[in-house]
Amino acid sequence: MTAKAYIDKFATAGLFVTAIFSPCCFPLYGFLLSALGLGSVELFGGYTWYIFQGLVALALFGQFWSYSKHKNIFPLLIALISSVLIFGSYYFYFSHPLIYTGMFGLLIATAVNHFAKRKAKSCPNCIPTSAEKTLIFQSTITCLNCGHSKKETMPHDACQFFYECENCKTVLKPKQGDCCVYCSYGNVKCPSIQVGTNCC
């Protein structure tokens, strides 16, 4: 799993942290903290809105990247609508309720995106990427030393450079010119090679 897979989660969490510690810009959170006896702290000062907008854009980028992997449009649509609410409220018609709605929309989009990625990974053999192309995610890898074979699930978005044979404990490495152990010793090439892109 690459760092990009967590961008939407990081950015959405950052939105709420920024809001909680900026009671002047987000009075609802300041009121809630005061009601809980925690007081309020203005952490970012005059930079609050710049940081907040940057995190919204980052969350939206994370949703676009995730969509390119699992092809589930719903979390991306929720994130797009939520982002429009936030930026529209800030630049055209300032409204705290709309901004709060957009924030919680991004939170919902992040949750839906998380389950969409889990559902995509639950398919043991494939994930459809188009009407014409289906990626295969299971490959039978054969040890060059002892000939032992085992069916394994390949990573969806990363390369595997080492593989230890469970039979003879030999550590396999990619052959020269190959990007991963599955391309060298598996009966199915890795997903990146299947779609014709550069692997890692």
Q: What is the pLDDT of residues 61-88, one digit of tens each?
A: 888 888 887 788 888 899 999 999 989 9
Structural domains in the chain (count):
2
Nearest to 194 by CA among 129, 121, 144, 143: 129
Q: Which domain holds residue 146?
A: 134-194
> Strand 138-142 and strand 171-172: pairing?
unpaired
Q: Are residues 12 and 111 in the same domain?
A: yes
pLDDT the model gives residue 70? 76
Q: Are residues 46 and 11 in the same domain?
A: yes
- Answer yes or no: is 129 within a domain: no
- Answer yes or no: is 102 within a domain: yes
Domain boundary among 122, 145, 169: 122
The model carries a pTM of 0.51
Report the C-alpha gap between 165 and 145 in whole angstroms: 9
Angle, helix 27-35 to helix 7-20, in steps of 10 degrees: 70
Cβ neighbour number for residue 133 with a 10 Å cutoff: 11
pLDDT the model gives residue 124? 45
pLDDT the model gives residue 183? 87
- Answer yes or no: is 77 within a domain: yes
Q: Are residues 159 and 185 in the same domain?
A: yes
pLDDT the model gives residue 126? 46
- Answer yes or no: is 199 within a domain: no
- Answer yes or no: is 46 within a domain: yes
Q: Are residues 81 and 165 in the same domain?
A: no
